[in-house]
Chains A and B, each alone.
Chain A
Amino acid sequence: MATSRDDFVIAIRSAFLKKGNQQRFSLIGLIFFSVGLLILSKINLPFTNYLKITLNEIVYRTSFIVSVPEKKILDLSNKIQDHYNVYNDYVLVKEKIKTLESKKYETQFLEVENKRLKKTINEYIFKSDELVAKVLIDKNSPFLKSVIVNKGSKDKVKLGMAVLDGSYLVGKIVEVNYSTSRALLVSDLNSKIPVGIEPGNIQSILSGTGKQNGKIEYLETDILIKDKSIVYTSGSGGLFKSGIPVGIYHIETEKEYEVVHFFSKLSQLTFVKLVSFEEGSN
């Protein structure tokens, strides 16, 4: 009994304490160093922030270069798929153009009317600063849905800026380095965005699911959302302006129940707009 315990101790000691052939560091030393780094990250000391920013700058650029071959293969496969779908897409687009043309004039009138009414009730009109950024890394990891863009603090990117694909909201900036930033996508589990759902002006929170869609949370049980309702940002909290389209609500699809399908395809982002909204005078 005592011998087997001794063997166990010897094996553990040998595994963790001995440096071994051509090893400069012992395993236990590096484990303690990792734990120390974790504690320092939690405390949020300026030293760890500088270390993180420097590391991020190097890693993002390197990762962008290393990812090039994989990106090329994915692009090629997407292009081939697109070629197969050309005719079906053409028919769909033709139909959509017809519907959109009829709505265009109606929208123009509504926009002008909306501005006039906002002035009448003294509501703030938002001014926005826009920056176009290239998506450097889009890893689509199963644990964190985020993208790295090539604009950072030197381009006046700030934490919390909205990230748009065209006019659709796709995420917000959660980490700013000197020349790069990380945007947390709306599909991430940690993303919570105050939204309004139309028709009905239902106020709620849109949360990511970690997949390619979102779900509506914190909704009172007696409120029913209609199928194919449009989800916009509500502007609550003052981070985003109200009325940025995010997605479309489906009560039931082939695979899921009560999900929000985002307007933008989050795995295909190449260029995005970084927008900060400020309250302007009327």
Chain B
Amino acid sequence: MSSKFRNTIGKTFLLYLPLLLLFISVFNEFDFNYLNYKYFSFNFPFILIFYWSLKRIETLGYGFIFIAGMFNDAVLGFPIGISSLTYLIICGFAAYLRNITLRPSLTKDWLYFLFTISFANSINYFLLVLFFSIEINYYEILGNIIFTFLLYYIFAHIFDIYRKILLRIKI
């Protein structure tokens, strides 16, 4: 009974680990910006949301992604709703790719991810600058896009391994 109970808790934890990671990354805003390398920062929630929306959306869920976006706005001090919109745009792009893909390939996903985050960040930038008159450094965003894009490849490999583990234990 006890081992069955432990098994269930372990499985639930493994299933919801990406969601937990999303909320931790949103609350903690870990982008390694404190390393103080010029223009180095990356957006971990973008990678997480795109990958899991593409491969297994039931792990995150649109509702939780929306809430995570609201939390991110509160932490960063942005107008409420802007990160939710950005995250949901990424979900939309990922869902479209999922629907049109017959043979998945990491390289294609990777390039499509670049297009997706460029579009999502552009919407974010224009809304903040034009609609809310908040000044933002364009080069910081560009740096953020490039590093997020480059790191997607590494994280996608890690998440692939994780997804295989989930499949093996039939979650």
List chain A positions with a Cβ less than 8 A from chain B.
7, 10-12, 14-16, 20-27, 30-31, 33-38, 41-42, 48, 51-52, 55-56, 59-60, 62-63, 66-67, 70, 74, 137, 139-144, 146, 174-175, 182, 189-190, 210, 212, 267
Contact = CB atoms under 8 A, between A and B. Distances in A.
B93 to A, nearest CB: 8
B92 interface: yes
Interface residues of B, number: 51
B96 A11 contact: yes
A143 B76 contact: yes
Interface in B60-111: 61-63, 66, 69-71, 74-82, 84-85, 88-89, 91-92, 95-96, 98-100
A24 B74 contact: no
A146 B74 CA distance: 12
B36 interface: yes
Given A30-B84, A146-B77, A210-B137, A63 B28 contact: yes
Contacts of B143: 142
Contacts, number: 143
B144 interface: yes
Q: Is the interface of A mostly helix, strand, loop or mixed?
A: helix
Contacts of A14: 95, 99
Given A7-B100, A41-B80, A31 B88 contact: yes
B151 interface: no
Interface centre among A26, A141, A174 (most CB of B within 10 A): A141
Contacts of A23: 57-58, 61-63
Interface stretch (B6-14, B44-52, B127-135, B154-162): B127-135
Contacts of A11: 96, 99-100
B34 interface: yes
Interface of B: 24, 27-31, 33-34, 36, 39, 41, 57-58, 61-63, 66, 69-71, 74-82, 84-85, 88-89, 91-92, 95-96, 98-100, 127, 131-132, 134-137, 140-141, 143-144
A141 B27 contact: no
Contacts of A141: 29, 31, 33, 76
B96 A38 contact: no
B136 A189 contact: yes
Given A16-B95, A27-B88, 20 more contacts: A10-B99, A11-B100, A15-B92, A15-B98, A24-B61, A30-B63, A31-B85, A34-B69, A38-B85, A41-B80, A52-B74, A55-B70, A63-B28, A66-B28, A67-B27, A70-B28, A144-B76, A146-B77, A190-B135, A210-B140
A139 B57 CA distance: 29
A210 to B, nearest CB: 4
A95 B33 CA distance: 34
Nearest to B140: A142
